[in-house]
Structures are given as structure tokens and as C-alpha cells.
Amino acid sequence: MFVLGFPTMFIVGVILAAVVGMLAWKLGWLTWGGAWGATLIGGLVFGFGGLTWAAVLIAFFAASVLLSRVGSVHKARVLADFAKSGPRDFVQTLANGGVAALMALGVGIFGHHSPLYPYLTLAYFGSLAAATADTWATELGMLSKQQPRRISTWQPTQPGVSGGVTLVGMLASVAGGAFMGVVTFGLIQAASLLSSRHWFLQDWFLLPTLTLAGLVGSVADSFLGATLQRLYYCERCQVPTEKPTHVCGASARLIRGRSWMNNDLVNFLATCIGAIVALITSLPFLIS
């Protein structure tokens, strides 16, 4: 039976998400469109997923924003030629949180007591683990003094070019996935203690599961970035760019990938992979 959630909770979720989104816009963390994207995603997550789901989403967002502040001047200079620079816009928020929003909508349709609920929940956590791991890999990897290598060929590549990896970035992706595992497990324990005064330690498998989902999603993002994601070359400035029109105003020439495969689509696919990995690796624990 398809029953669409609880209207009151959804409205409250939208209001709270709008407040957070507008604050992030005022602080320059999101564009105006990004604030609307955050409002949509946050409203669905809080309204249908509930407080624990919303807290996990806030943890992802807060950690991502804080890391983006570290070495921001250096990062802005490195990413000047690439589409992923600057505050996140509407499409970028959906690229990172779209899968999470769809899982929340699924809960709103099928309900918390549906047999599908555990799977929707795991996919939700896995998608955010992948988004977190990839964000951490990017934000901290760009600070590495080691020259990045293209993950598909292991040849040296320019910092900022999608598909490039460093040891610091790889370790950061592991840390990002592990962070989401710890946060998720901790919030579930807190919710269980508040509601029943008992621990819910059966969910311990989320710790390795979300770490793995984050790492695999991040690696998949890098591999897609190195193979299928579009990369252009500005003949005037003699530099690679992910923008069809370079910042100098000149049209750039496609030298790699597919013109329709941009960074946002790669990010979305990576979160899908993270969701799938979380589901597959959790199946033995769900069955038992």
C-alpha cells in the first residue's frame, strides 16, 4: 500500500532545511540554487527519514564545509579551470544528495514498517558515505605535496584534474567513509537509548560497511573521472579544463571522455555505487 509519509513532519523538515540552506547561502557555502537544493533534500530526509537520517546528512554537510575551508585559497587557485570550484549550486547538491533524497522519498512512499525500509536505509547511508569519502579525498588530496597520478594509467597528472589520486587523498577517502560509519552507528545508539534505554549493537556492521562503501564510491568516482568524464583543452591558455568554454572566454577542445559526462553526473554515479556496496556487504547481516 502506497501511503505518502507524514505531511506535518515533511513541512517541518522543509522549514528546518530552508533555514540551514539560507544560512549556508549567507555564509557563501552554497549558491542561491544550492540553498534550494539543500532545502529539497533536507526536507525529504527529515520529513520521511526522520531525525537520525537528518543528523547523518547534517554531519556530512558540516564536515564537508569545514574541510573546504582548509587551504581554501590554494584550492581555489588549483580548481580555477575546473567545474567543481566555488560554492555548491543546485545541481551539485543533487549530485551528492540526490540518491539520499530518493531513498527518503522511498520511505515516505512505502513507510517505516515496510520490508524495504532496511534496504532503503542502508542505501541512504552508503550513498552519503561515498559522497563524504569523495569530498574528503578531494579537499585533503589537493593539499598533498605529492603529484597526483591518473588512476586508470598511473601516469602523473595535473592537480585538480578529475581522476588524479594521491596517497593523502586515498587515506582521506577511507577516513571519510569511516567517519560516516562512526557517526551513523553512534546516532543509532543514541536514538535507541532515548527511545528504549537499550543499546542497539546489532548494527556494528555499519562501521566496516560504510567505510568500504565510501572507499569504493570514491575510487569509482576517480576512475570515471579518469576515463569517461569530459576534459577539454584551451588552446589559447595551453591548459586543461572541464569547462567547454574556458575562463578566458575561448572555446575549449574535447580531448578525453564524453561531452555529456560532467563532474556532477560522475558524483551522482559514485553515490549510487556507494549505496549498492552498502547493500551488498550488509546482506549477510540482514539475513541473519
pLDDT tens-digit map of 72-102: 666 666 665 565 556 788 999 999 999 999 9
Determine the pLDDT at residue 137.
Answer: 94
Rounded to whole angstroms, the Cα distance separating 95 from 229 reads 14
CA trace torsion 183, 184, 188, 189 (10° rounding): -40
Which of the residue ranges 117-121, 137-141, 173-177, 244-248 would you say has the lowest mean pLDDT? Answer: 244-248
Give me the percent of the chain exceeding a pLDDT of 70. Answer: 92
Lowest mean pLDDT among 69-83, 157-171, 233-247: 69-83
Q: What is the pLDDT of residue 77?
A: 65
Confidence label for 5 from pLDDT (cuts 50, 70 and 90)? very low
In this prediction, residue 151 carries a pLDDT of 95
Portion of the chain with pLDDT greater than 90, in percent: 59
pLDDT-derived band at 209 (thresholds 50, 70, 90) equals: very high
Summarize the confidence of residues 56-63 as an average pLDDT. Answer: 93
pLDDT in tens, 94-143: 999 999 999 999 999 998 899 999 999 999 999 999 999 999 999 898 88
Q: Locate the domains of the chain by residue range.
A: 7-223+261-287
- Burial degree of 256 (CB within 10 A; 0-12, 13-18, 19+): middle
Q: pLDDT confidence of 225, banded at 50, 70, 90?
A: very high
**How far, in Å, CA of 28 to CA of 189, rounded?**
34
Mean pLDDT for 176-199 is: 93
Please report which confidence band the pLDDT of residue 241 belongs to, taking 50, 70 and 90 as the band edges: confident
Distances in whole angstroms, Cα of residue 78 to Cα of each of 87, 104, 178: 15, 36, 27
Residue 155 has pLDDT above 80, yes or no: yes
For residue 39, the number of C-alpha atoms closer than 13 Å in the C-beta half-sphere is 17
Instruction: Determine the residue type at 70.
Output: V
pLDDT in the model for residue 277: 98
**pLDDT given at position 80:** 59
- 1, pLDDT greater than 70: no
Residue 6 has pLDDT above 60, yes or no: no
Average pLDDT, stretch 190-209? 90
Q: What is the pLDDT of residue 85?
A: 58
Question: Which pLDDT score is estimated for 82?
Answer: 63
pTM higher than 0.85 for the full model? yes
Supply the DSSP string of 147-207, one letter for each residue. PPEETTT--B--TT-TTEE-HHHHHHHHHHHHHHHHHHHHHHHHHHHHHHSS--GGGGGHH
Beta-carbon contacts of residue 111 (< 8 Å; ≥ 6 apart): 3, 117
Q: Residue 243 pLDDT > 80, yes or no?
A: yes
Closest alpha carbon to 234 in 217, 216, 253: 253
Q: Which of 58-67, 88-97, 236-245 shows the lowest mean pLDDT across its residues?
A: 236-245
Query: Is 50 exceeded by the pLDDT of residue 13?
Result: yes
